[in-house]
Structure 1
Amino acid sequence: MHPHGYVRITAASPPVHVGAPRKNAVEIQVLLQQHVESDIVLFPELSLTGYTAADLFGQQQLLDAAMDALQQIVTASAGRDQLIVVGLPVSVADSLYNCAAAIDNGRLLGIVPKQFLPNYKEFYEARWFRAADGGEPATIEIENEPIPFGIDLLFRSGDAVVGIEICEDLWTPNPPSGLMAVAGSNILLNLSASTETVGKASWRTDLVKSQSGRCIAAYAYAGAGPTESTTDVVFGAHCMVAENGAILSHSRRVGDGQPAWQGATSATVDVDIQKLGHDRRTIGSFDDARSTLPRRYRKIDFSLAQTPDRALQRDIAPRPFVPSDPDTLADRCSEIFEIQSAGLAQRIRQLPQNMPLFIGVSGGLDSTLALVVAAKMCQRYDWPTSRIHGITMPGFGTTDQTRESADRLMQQLGVTRETIDIRPLCLQAFQSLQHQPLGIDAENRDVETLQLQLVQTPNDAQDLVFENIQARIRTFLLMSRGFVLGTGDLSEQALGWSTYNGDHMSMYNVNTSVPKTLVRFLVRFAGDHHFDESVRSTLHQIADAVISPELMPPTEEGAIRQSTEATIGAYELHDFFLFHFIRNGYTPDKILWLAKQAKFSEPYDDKTLADTMQTFFKRFFANQFKRTCVPDGPKVGSVSLSPRGDWRMPSDADPDAWRR
């Protein structure tokens, strides 16, 4: 078990010899040797005898051989801090139960019987087994030792709490794993023998995925394979591990369309119990369900070794807001557009009919996305796009490239266009405030003279008043006209990268919960899927440009001088930090450790990662006051910083614990 809360789980399906427990124990031990680094290794239902032994389950010889095979595995596990779970029939008094045995370091921890027996179509379990209902003995004697027995057993090692159910238990309306999760289990195991029929694998996968999400847990599933008897059915050897609604790893299976195989299948992955704990703490209804527990659960302790140096066996997405799979990304982008458009349309319906919508169009990513969303909304609801009034407001930092992109895009989308040069108003503000922009005396100077002098200032010159005046004048001009559509994105809110009561403010902000890394993909997606070639070219050009507020003057060659990412760090890092800080509640040291595992668009050394994280937390805490008063806007993903919804934080909170 890794100190950052990662537990490695293997769900494995070995070759089975029906009716030969000793041979099956050997097959299981072979797989255990292959997965010595796994914290938990799960095997299928009745894996010591074979699920298809049928009336042989009535033979004492098979039951005794299965118990001997179990002791063989218990003995072999000595010296290994690893939870091993195997399936076997267990005779208790005059009843026979389909059971899961939990083993750790030479010790049989406990035995969990199956609660729901399938007895329909190809299944006849009730012919041989009794369904457990909680009335069974609390312990049974094995090798002269009392062993905990029952449906009320959970197995605990530190923060990892394991619950076990068997096959059909999952397919019922109220799976036992739901109660186990509410009782504290964050890792759920299922020993299964599910037959492989057309379409069943998809259904099975959905069950595992949805149960892991419903229980806010990791869920491992190990299915019997094709070496079971094929007299009437075939078993697929389907193994998988899910975590909170997502399949993290899955094995080969019969019917997957790939070449046939011989031997075992397995799925191994590191599950994150710290993340599960955060989600359970923040979702209050999960705790509320504890009142429904019909019984108290016994927790049996076992040991997992601490493995701080073990390499992580899990994909760490470098852009967690942006799916890596192209089809998933396309679906995500399409859905976000729908949410943004629907939210904006509802707000527009409350306005006087045909009231124009004003948007400042800079030629940058954020205003482009907001403009595209507004245009798609008008098309969807049969409103003329001319109702959108796009205003370009060139200032002292505007370059020809972004202005031309803005003008061309507005023309292509058919919106009403207007240009207002904000420099004269800015100059008047400098003079009224007796401010010297970038150290230049603004008195008795005209706009063009001041522009020439500003361009000649050093590239590293700084002047926050100079920047804020431009941002606030743009907002003043927009809001003096009518209903203003905001453009600022989630990443800018997190970092406070906006001018208070400047570009920070609007009447409705469709981008409010879209992070910068996703904005870029949305702009490209819009070009690829919603518009013709001319618009596509413009949108891709905007998506590929340097991210800049263009408030500082350009270089003498007319290029963008002010790069946002050169100033505060790469947005892909800030979005990575933001996601894991807000969505998962991770500590800074865990986030930094994960960042070192992720494959970003370029390699970042340890100093860059640490410095950028310092910037993130410093700015995040310092700029809560801006987030406390932001305009309405739709939540589109799992992370939002709305003070009315997801994120409520004091503006004067001390970041010391995080920055240290």
Structure 2
Amino acid sequence: MAEVATLSTVTLNQFALDFEGNKQRILRSIEICKEEKSRFRCGPELEICGYNCQDHFLESDTRTHSWEVLADLLKDDICQNILIDVGMPVMHNGVNYNCRVVFLNKKILLIRPKMIMCDDGNYRESRWFTGWTKKRHVEDYVLPEIIAVVAGQRKAPFGDALLQLADTKIGFEICEELWNPMSTHLEQTLAGADIIVNGSGSHAEIRKASYALELIKTASSKCGCLYAFSNLRGCDGERVYLNGCSAIVLNGDVLKLGEQYSLDDVEVLTATFQLDEIHSHKIKIRSRSLVGANTESYPCIEIPWSLSTSTRQRSLTLPLEKVEFICPEAEIACGPALWLWDYLRRSPASGFLLPLSGGVDSSSVAIIVFSMCRLIVNHINNHDDQVLNDVRRILKDSSFKPTDPRELCGKLLTTCYMASENSSDTTRNFAKSLAAEIGSNHREINISPVCATFVEETAKALGKGTPSFAGTRAENLALQNVQARSRMVFAYMFAQLTPWSRGEGGFLLVLTSANVDEAIRGYFTKYDCSAGDLNPIGGISKTDLKRFIIYAGKKFGLKMVAQIVEAPPTAELCPLETNQTDEQDMGMTYEELSYYGKLRKPLACGPFSMMARLIHLWKDKHEPREIARKVKHFYVSYAANRHKMSILTPSCHMENYSPEDHRHDLRPIFYPLDFTWQFRRIDELVHNVESEVD
């Protein structure tokens, strides 16, 4: 039988606790699915309430409002005559579960709880949910009255089951179940499932998107199935950006692949395929047939519904000839930019304020905002939708329609060069020229009089003479830090008064520009202009930032970028004749910092194991004794500054070795500064290596 089936997978930009907005986006996705003659709609994880509700998942309100939204969906005419799968939290027998709820024509067919929680990196799902441990087991779930009235049923199946349709069998995975080595799709497909649908909440990391697709392709090819992957998009109120990339894959061939980064709040992928293709593929894998014949049967929920339609009405969806993901530099241009946009459009702010120093970091932030403006204008040129409405609402101008990114950047971004007596004309000109190229509303201010007053009044109160840069280390650091911290005060003054100076209301969100490597080292002043509202580069390494800014300079036609990259990074907090540089101050290069960061976090190295690895990685660069000195210096610096991680400005997570303290990198604030035991072991290792050489 050459049955032709049609289904859709959906990408949504949902927002934690935005029940009304989330419902409208779900309805719009179902409407598009029906327009495309789809028979089944698969949605992303926890789409009704939003994925990042976090401790709000402990509140009964979140579950109550999710059921209320589901009741509205069940009643809505748009949701009739199509099989629908949505994500929401459900409490069963006093246990909170992350669930898929499948319904058809007002009837709840199955509530399928997530079986494997995600608890690494940015995720803490077991704090709020419990995994369903009863494999191949289904229980009765007593539906809330609000659902029972609409559905005309008191109970619904709850547990690990397949849907047996008239023409095919469907299995379910939820996000982490795909990544787990004992993925649930293995047993489901062996038990006869032809289709696996996965509602997911997977976040973006540089160079990660292709990995997820390879997992899906492998699952589909090895098991013989159509795999429909539905992912969320947007910041959803958190420090991550959920990157979409929903996909439909048939027997290892990609039929549809969603946008990696996009301003679309609703994206629907629909594919039409022959069920016989799946069956033929399964039969050809003889080892699969042998295992399948010995596989325990799966409980099935029988439904008088078919995914098939007449072959004359539909054309088959052919595999994509080429699947490509954007380069890491383009990911930086898009991910943090769209993260900023989601935050701005959902806040009462009217734009951004950025202290622009003329260095690589702050220039990167400025260019990311400019990239955001480019994405918005490009979208508006092709759509007349919510994005334009959001722009007009933010700017309080109902007739405004940007045609040039520079025009929009001038309205959304104010940059300010905050000069002290130690600032150079070089960085001042870098900042001024870059601001002119991107069109930001640029200002300059001299902070030296304020800093001088701080120093003078403090010296008077302490009864000491005036501190000097040439004096003690304490004097030098205090004179540097008063400049840095004064910039934070000025940044917030500008953020609050810039709209006022234009005769407008509102305020600006303060952007900061400390990169991930500086955060690991603690190379920033606490509560300086690294303290703000949002930091789009706080999860990006200096190495990747340099590549990004070069890429953006060419891509966006920004001529000043080349000079900014060539200039040695400097804080310009000491007298210019000292030739202060960041790497000299840190006692390590940014390249070395990147090594330390990756070994410390993704590879879980302590001081000794880091030393053991670097002896091999750097054997052609440094002697063991020098490597030991470097490792010790890093850990002493890291320990001394770890307390700064507790006040990091919320940043867009993009690197897997981010030190972001609130979610991603849960480690002590205070450490022993001498690491006596660990450093002794390093010394023994150096001695042994040197003895082998002798």
What's the TM-score bracket when you normalise by the shorter of the two chains? Answer: 0.3 to 0.5
Which one has the bigger helix percentage? 2
What TM-score do you get using the length of structure 2 for normalisation?
0.43
Normalization by structure 1: what TM-score? 0.45
Give 1 or 2 for the bigger CA radius of gyration: 1
